[in-house]
Amino acid sequence: MNKKRMAVILSLLIIFIQGAYSFGFNTQANAAEITDNIITSVTMAVYDNGVPVTDVVYKQGAEVKLTYNWELPDSTYKGGDTYSFELPDKFVLASDISGTPLMFDGVPLGHFDVLKGNPNKVVMTFNDDIESYFGVHGSFTISTKFDKTKFTETTVQQIVFPINGGNQTVTLTFIPDVTSPIAKSGVPTGSNKDNLNAKQIIWTVDVNKVLSSVQGATVTDTLPAGLTLVNPLDVKVFNLNVKLDGSVTQGAELDASHYAVMIPSGKLNVAFNDSTITGAYRIQYTTDITDAAKTSFTNSAVFSGSNQAAATASSTVNVSQGTFLKKSSTNYNPATQVTDWEIDYNYNELQVAQANAVLKDYYNNTQELVPGSLQVFPVNFLTSSSGTAGTIESTNYTMSAPSVPVSGQNGFELKFTSDLNGAYKIKYQTRAINRVEDNTTIMNSATSGTTTVTGTRDIGQVIISKKVADYNYLTKTVSWSVTLNADSYPMDEVVVKDIFTNKGLKIVPGSIVVKKGSAATSTGYTIQNLDDTAGFDVVFNSQITGPYTITYDTYFDNNWLSYNWLNTAAKFENKAMVNWKDPGSTTVKTKTVIAAFDPNASDKANGFKNGAYNAVSKEITWTIGVNYNRNPLTNANVSDVLQSNQQYVPGSVEVYNLSVAKNGDPSKGTKLVLGTDYTVAYTESSKLLQVNFKNDMNSAYYIIFKTNLQGQLVESPTIANTANLYSGTTAASKDLTASLTIPKGGEYVAKSGTQSNTKIKWTININNSLSFIEDATVTDDPSDNQILLSDSFKLYPTTVNAGGDITKVTTPLVKGTDYDLVISTDENTGKQQFVLTFRTDIEKPYILEYESLIVANNNDKVSNSVRLSGNNSTTITKQSSKEIIVALSSVDAVGTGTRKTLYVVKKDAADQALLSGATFALYRKSGSTEVLINQLTTNSNGAAAFNNLWPGTYVLQEVAAPAGYDLNPTKFAVTFNSTTETTMTVTDNKTATPTPTATPTATPTATPTATPTVTPTASPTVTSTPTATPTATPTVTPTASPTVTSTPTATPTASPTATPTASPTTTPTISPTSLPTPGASTIPGVIITATSTASATPVPSATPVQASATPAATPGQPVVSSTPAVPQATQATTIVDVPIEGEIPLGGIPSIGDKPDHGTVTITPDGKWTYTPDSGYIGKDKFTIVVTDEDGNEEEVVIEVGIDDVPKGTVTDTADKGDDALPGKLPQTGENSPLPLYLTGGGLIVLGVLLSRRFKTRIKQGK
């Protein structure tokens, strides 16, 4: 009983321990963020167009390569740990940099990413190999540029790099934003306002503004004529502070010991005494103006040195000088016929001797000097450059008649009584000697010394004038005004005739008014020859000596004009003519003037038209104003032929009364009744709309109707429409035309795009015109240096307001429901295209947004061309394109170089037959994402070609297997050859077919030429290294009764030699298996084989059986190939991160041929090789060893290695220590813990002690 109880307790304890051990005493190994600064130093190299800059002054936007040196302390960090830091903000990054390896003595220890942002950030990620080395260190380089937008204004900038132990500060000097090392300027200087009549020029020469190191620096300045520099002490040199933007501030004066000044004839030389200057300097000096007649001075300076090419700068200084002599007329009074004149004398403030200070003034002999009008004023320019007049001079000049009379001219002579050095203004007046009866020009001249200037004044008669005083469109009247004798001369027998030249006018009865001065008068004149439509006469009964005004009103009407206003623009002219005699004369004089009234456009056309478009309803509202002039019409009708593709909206016509204001503005009145006041007719075929008025018309009307563009193409941004008013069949208006703007009319498709890091965000505006399009299809052809990102496509609907403004709806449409999208890639060129097809007709705008991955080089042009096609009443094809110049970081995943072609060959894993119908997908890696490039299916030759591939990281995956074959879903990394074409061979196994168990017979069925001897063991290992491919399967036949269930598909060698031995306890049952048989390929490349592993299952036998016969196997004949056989690969297997060793038979000198793609290999002279896989790599790898014999013949041995994963937490060690043995591998940190084992052992010990004591106690009790 006790034994049973003890057994139960032990069983429960074991179950508990097993459960506890199964459920998680494992400790996870988690990656960590490294907080200690592992950057040991930073180096910086600056480049100019790819050439290293050796100077100490750099361009502000120069290219920079930053090399970060890093080091990890031993045994501190593990695989997966990351370290992040920020780049200084003084550097600009064009795009992300992803997945660049971190190298240590040629071994990748992880990778780093540079993330574009604010700030830019670097993330270093380490792999497990950092745990395998001491003194792990390395460096990486980032190509960037200085970001001058982050610089302060000074040329000296500091950039701080945080490193281990503190900060590394770099002080840099940058070239200011200047175009030349020398600049020159000058300013005039004087006591007057705005430096008028300056006496000197202050010159400034700034040198070495680019802050170069100049040896033996000198400045030479050549002075132009008219300037002098006498004293070298006038030359000063200052330090110059130059800012980044090129602006400067003057610093302290430089000690004279640092430079020497010489003034040879007409030149200034400044030589710096320091052997080398590195700063900027300002040279300043003043020159006297010795030629006051010159107003412009150009000066050139040259800066040079023994290591500095001569640089020249010029400056032109314009000196504002007043004029020596100027004459002008400042006013004319037509009533008095007096003209005001002014003379500006010596405004350039020259020294004028008294003998030369003489003015001679001449004017037309039709003019005379107004007595007492001459005034002389001194002028200064201290507060105003135009001059300020002082107190009138009366004693320092004399005036007389000209000393030298000039024929046909009157004038005077003015002489100053002393020398002059100041300016003067002279004013006087002239008056017409006789009445001015015609328009004329007065000529006036002034002379001093050799200088003569002229002035003019246009004057005209004021005997009679006429104008339009006012107008009124409501009453259809114009007010006229005639002014007579404004100069108040005596006039006898005055008759004023007013004539309506072109008719069109009719006098408003009682409107004629005559005013003497400003008061109306009814005496002293009579109105004769009054004709309402022709004009009238005003006859004065006696002499008039003052001004008179005649005013009157007329009606105006286009129909009264003497010409057809429908063909010629209406204009109402009015002529006034005066006849008179001068007192005592018998000669009749005449003067005529004309005035005209030009009415507005509505009056000229007798109507108007305008329109308004509503983008929401796609309706146009047309408004016609007819019979604006309120003409009497019978059988009035309006016709309007709809233009373009407008459709009339039935029942939309409305008619209103129209009122016209005094200023001519129309306004809408009451609404008329359809059927009672008017009728409407529309003819669809001719698109003619007619409105017929049922009653006689003598008023103006508004006609309003609507058309729409629904279901139509909106092909133009404007739509014009014309209406006409008729009286019966007679035109009663001009063409009433309106041109309406349709927002975004004719805009079918438009393309735009912007770069965003390594992508371009494209936007296509579709159908902004709101056209109705059937079968709408958008076809886009991007340039071949970009890859479309299929998941980024989003098609958005929009909303439109009445004004045509378009707003994107935030929820996109559904692909496959609302539209279809097909992205295709040309198999030959690799060029992509997408076609978006709407599933329904469209009449609204849409916005398509998508992205493409940039695979261009920096500064390449990426373009895109899109076209919209569809149908309406005609076939539509509209196109738009956009081009973008991309900016990319130089170490971005987008590389440079030639395009590549990847050939994929599909074969049977067993017999190497070429397989058609296998579909492969090729992806390009962009950061952590994979972008589909294309999907291709192998042809009858088992091949598919991905052409025109840009450099980058690619992954190949089989997505559909040939019929009868298993899919190989492995993603294979693509490694391009150095040549343009690269080949990858992928094999598939046939789909397994269940095979019935073979029943062996007592005798063999065939005798092979080579007799294999099979020795089954408890754990058989099938190893095959065939040299030829047999076509048949050998039949294994035992002689007694062992149970061998086998239909092997493994391919044996042509001469198997295995020999069986007795096995008294087990009989092996071999499961079906597929072994790889690499074969020859017409295209050289990588052979990748998917293989299932053979397994042997020991089956216990009740009775040991001694094999009594040798089973026979008949190999088939090898397949004959037209291509040379490739060396047969030797298979080897290891696990992740574990090296593997092997050796080859000696027969010569061994050496490494093709190196492995995912590891390293070494070989000793005795043929022993060691292969070490890349850290973390799982998959297949291959290398070759070339053996050269004593005759120089070479034999190549191909070795294929499979690197398998190991379940975490286990210890892998092989019992067999043969050539393919794997060394034992301890669990990685955190993967497994011995704690459960310790607890289990301790528990069993405690339990044993307790049970032992209890057992002893019972024995004692039993005694």
Range of the domain at 958: 900-988
Three-state SS sequence of 612-651: EEECCCCEEEEEEEECCCCCCECCEEEEEECCCCCEECCC
Lowest mean pLDDT among 121-135, 200-214, 864-878, 915-929: 864-878
End of a domain among 268, 293, 318? 318
Same domain as 609, residue 588:
no
Q: What is the CATH number of the domain that holds 333?
A: 2.60.40.1290
Residue 1037 maps to a domain: no
Q: 620: Cβ–Cβ under 8 A, 6 or more apart, which residues?
A: 611, 612, 613, 614, 646, 706, 707, 708, 709, 719, 740
Q: What is the pLDDT of residue 640?
A: 96
Residue 1207 maps to a domain: yes
Share of the chain above pLDDT 70, in %: 78
Q: What is the CATH number of the domain that holds 1132?
A: 2.60.40.10
* pLDDT, average across residues 159-186: 88
Is the model's pLDDT at 1021 over the cut of 80? no
pLDDT band at 978 (very low <50, low <70, confident <90, very high): low
Is the model's pLDDT at 1126 over the cut of 50? no
Q: What is the pLDDT of residue 1167?
A: 78
Q: What is the pLDDT of residue 814?
A: 95
**pLDDT tens readout for residues 589-629:** 999 999 999 999 999 999 999 999 999 999 999 999 999 99
Integer Cα distance of 1090 and 1077 in angstroms: 11
The two structure tokens encoding residue 573: 């002219």
Query: Are 745 and 769 a contacting pair, CB within 8 Å?
Result: yes
Integer Cα distance of 387 and 284 in angstroms: 31
What's the pTM value of the predicted model, to 2 decimals? 0.60
Same domain as 393, residue 343:
yes
Same domain as 351, residue 434:
yes
Residue 1143 maps to a domain: yes
Is the model's pLDDT at 74 over the cut of 90? no
CA 469 from chain center: how many Å? 60
Residue 447 maps to a domain: yes
Residue 1099 maps to a domain: no
- Output DSSP code: residue 940: T
Same domain as 50, residue 124:
yes
Same domain as 193, residue 310:
yes
Same domain as 765, residue 714:
no
Same domain as 880, residue 777:
yes
Residue 843 maps to a domain: yes
**pLDDT tens readout for residues 525-565:** 999 999 999 999 999 999 999 999 999 999 999 999 999 99
Among left, alpha and beta (phi > 0; psi -120 to 50; other), residue 355 is: alpha
Query: Are 1048 and 1030 a contacting pair, CB within 8 Å?
Result: no
Is the model's pLDDT at 882 over the cut of 80? no
Lowest mean pLDDT among 510-514, 693-697, 920-924: 920-924
Paired strand residues for 497: 537, 577
Same domain as 230, residue 113:
no
**pLDDT tens readout for residues 327-337:** 999 999 999 99
Q: Domain count of the chain?
A: 8
Is the model's pLDDT at 1119 over the cut of 60? no
Find the helix or strand (DSSP H, E) in which 1248 lies: helix 1235-1262
Q: What is the CATH number of the domain that holds 687?
A: 2.60.40.740
Is the model's pLDDT at 1235 over the cut of 60? no
Integer Cα distance of 602 and 624 in angstroms: 11
Q: Is 384 helix (H, G, I), strand (E, B) or coil?
A: coil
Residue 83 maps to a domain: yes
**CA torsion sign, 434 to 436 to 438 to 443?**
positive
End of a domain among 318, 348, 367? 318
Cite the DSSP H helix spans in 103-260. none
Same domain as 356, residue 340:
yes
CB atoms within 10 A of CB 352: 20
**pLDDT tens readout for residues 295-328:** 899 999 999 999 989 999 999 999 999 999 999 9
Same domain as 1159, residue 1190:
yes
**pLDDT tens readout for residues 669-682:** 999 999 999 999 99
Q: What is the pLDDT of residue 1210?
A: 33
**pLDDT tens readout for residues 725-780:** 999 999 999 999 999 999 998 888 888 888 877 788 999 999 999 999 989 999 99
Backbone angles phi, psi at 1092, to 5 degrees: -90, 150
Q: What is the pLDDT of residue 1003?
A: 43
The per-residue DSSP string of 89-157 comes to: TTEE-SS-EEEEEEEETTEEEEEEEEE-SSS-EEEEEE-GGGGS-SS-EEEEEEEEEE-GGGS-SBSEE
Lowest mean pLDDT among 470-474, 775-779, 999-1003: 999-1003
Q: Is pLDDT larger for residue 57 or for residue 359?
A: 359
pLDDT band at 373 (very low <50, low <70, confident <90, very high): very high
Integer Cα distance of 529 and 540 in angstroms: 14
Q: What is the pLDDT of residue 1194?
A: 77
Q: Is pLDDT larger for residue 331 or for residue 244?
A: 331
Integer Cα distance of 506 and 741 in angstroms: 41
Mean pLDDT of the chain: 81
Q: Is 937 helix (H, G, I), strand (E, B) or coil?
A: strand
Same domain as 668, residue 549:
no
Q: How far is CA 675 from CA 204, 578, 694, 1166, 1229, in A?
A: 89, 58, 8, 117, 100
Residue 1088 maps to a domain: no
Share of the chain above pLDDT 90, in %: 49
pLDDT band at 1248 (very low <50, low <70, confident <90, very high): low
Task: Single out the residue of 904, 771, 882 nearest to residue 827, CA to CA.
Answer: 904
Q: What is the pLDDT of residue 755?
A: 81
**pLDDT tens readout for residues 619-667:** 999 999 999 999 999 999 999 999 988 999 999 999 999 999 999 999 9
Query: Are 188 and 180 a contacting pair, CB within 8 Å?
Result: no
Same domain as 353, residue 273:
no
Integer Cα distance of 259 and 275 in angstroms: 11
End of a domain among 318, 351, 377? 318
Query: Are 287 and 227 a contacting pair, CB within 8 Å?
Result: yes
Which of 436-450, 857-871, 1169-1183: highest mean pLDDT? 436-450
Q: What is the CATH number of the domain that holds 127?
A: 2.60.40.1280
Three-state SS sequence of 1065-1088: CEEEEECCCCCCCCCCCCCCCEEE
